[in-house]
Structure formats: structure tokens, C-alpha cells
Amino acid sequence: MRNTTIKQRILVISSCGKAKATTSLSQPICGQLQTKHQREKAISQFKDNLTPARDLYTGLQAQSIAEAVDLLRRSHIIDYYIISAGFGLVKEDTLLPPYDCTFSGKTKDEIFTLSNNLEIQPSLLKLVSSNYNLVYFALGQDYLTALGDILQFESLGEIIILFGRKLKNLAGNFHVYNEQTFVQNPSSINVFAKPIGATIAAKGNILLNYSYDLLEENKTIVLDFLNFLFNFIFSVFR
């Protein structure tokens, strides 16, 4: 830890989820969201039933990430984006209609096709010039696949956090973890009264606990994320 009043620039990128705040019997599916025109049509069709992206997804990870982002904003500069399998890379306040589309369970070719149609990779590359101190990818393997070659994003930030068992030989700014590491014995883990829970929620709760640590330090101390994560892993196995 070091005393400082300098704000960190943090980029958080999460994924959409099946659990949503709004649904409809006529909501579009993946095949109806392939083109920009189709997506605009869906937004127009549900213009009276649009929800900010950060509020649309109601799963455990989405809830933890949203809470962490709000806490981190008290002391740092946060950009929060969500990768939507229906609408691409969207900012947290982007208004979205109900829809039913996910990368989960699809083949690599299907994911690449959807990702290309949604222009996810070029949209993310536009953020490279932002010079983030920390980039936190709260993404499962299927959503990481949608990004293509992860090495193209090395310049996104000084520290880039990824979760995945299939990511190998990454160096430089990349730090890869297996989220299952944090749920070896979930019943015994309770940090700041927030249990880590299942693997699907781990990525969100790790970031949330980091935000609690910063808050406990009265918002004037930057707690290095890698040191935090090292200590956090240690607490899991102690």
C-alpha cells in the first residue's frame, strides 16, 4: 500500500447473463440481432421497455460487479462496459430491450460470427488509448473467445486481469487466474460478510472485496490489486 491522492483509472468489462430484469414473449433471439438494422429495430420495438445495461442483468455476478463499480467510483475513475451477445460492447448506461441471446454453449465458429457482426473487437480496441491502470475482465471462456486474440488488447492497461483455464503463455501486462481457485471451500469463506459463493459469482465478488478494501482505507490509499489478490488467495487456503 502507498499513500496517494492520485485516482486510478479502472476499466471493468463484464458479460451479459440469462437472468434479466425485463423479458417479453416477443423478445428477439440471436438470429434477429445480426445486423445493426435488426438491433435498432428491436430497440424501437421495445422503446417503452428499455433498461440500462447495468440494471438489465440480474445474476449474481452482475449484481456484485455493479456494486463494486459504485464503491470504486467513490475514489477512482471507473469505466464500466458489458459484452452483450445481442448488442455488442455496450456502456453501462446503454438502454437495451429484453432479448434472449448468449455466447454460452455455442461453438467457436458461432461465437466468432456473432462477435464479428457485433464488432466487439474493434469496439474494445477503441479504448486502448485510454491508458487504464487496471483492466478487469469479468468474463467466462465463451465471452473471452468473442474477443479473439487477447494479445491485441495488451495496451489497454498497466495491469490486465483475466480468468480462465485455457489461457496460456500470456505475459507482460496480463495476469491470468482460475476463478475456481477462489471457491475451493466456499462454506468457510466470508470476507467482509460477503461469501465468495459459486464459481460463476467469484469474478464479481473478488472485485467487490477489492472495493471494500479500498473503502476501509478511507479512499486515500491505493491498494495494489495484485497484492490484494495475493492476500485474498492466501486467505482462501489458510
- What confidence tens digit (pLDDT) does each residue in 120-129 have? 999 999 999 8
Report how far residue 89's alpha carbon sits from residue 87's, in angstroms, rounded to the nearest whole number: 7
Instruction: Write the CB contacts of 213 (distance below 8 Å, at least 6 apart in sequence).
Output: 223, 228
Q: How far lies 131's CA from each of 121, 157, 174, in Å?
A: 17, 6, 15
pTM score, whole prediction = 0.88
Q: How far lies 16's CA from each of 58, 186, 212, in Å?
A: 9, 24, 24
Residue 133 sits at φ, ψ, to 5 deg, of -75, -35
pLDDT band at 212 (very low <50, low <70, confident <90, very high): confident
Give domain 7-18+55-92+102-237's CATH number out of 3.30.1460, 3.30.750, 3.30.70, 3.40.50.
3.40.50
pLDDT score, position 223 = 60
- What confidence tens digit (pLDDT) does each residue in 27-79 have? 999 999 999 999 999 999 999 999 999 999 999 899 999 999 999 998 899 99
pLDDT score, position 236 = 58
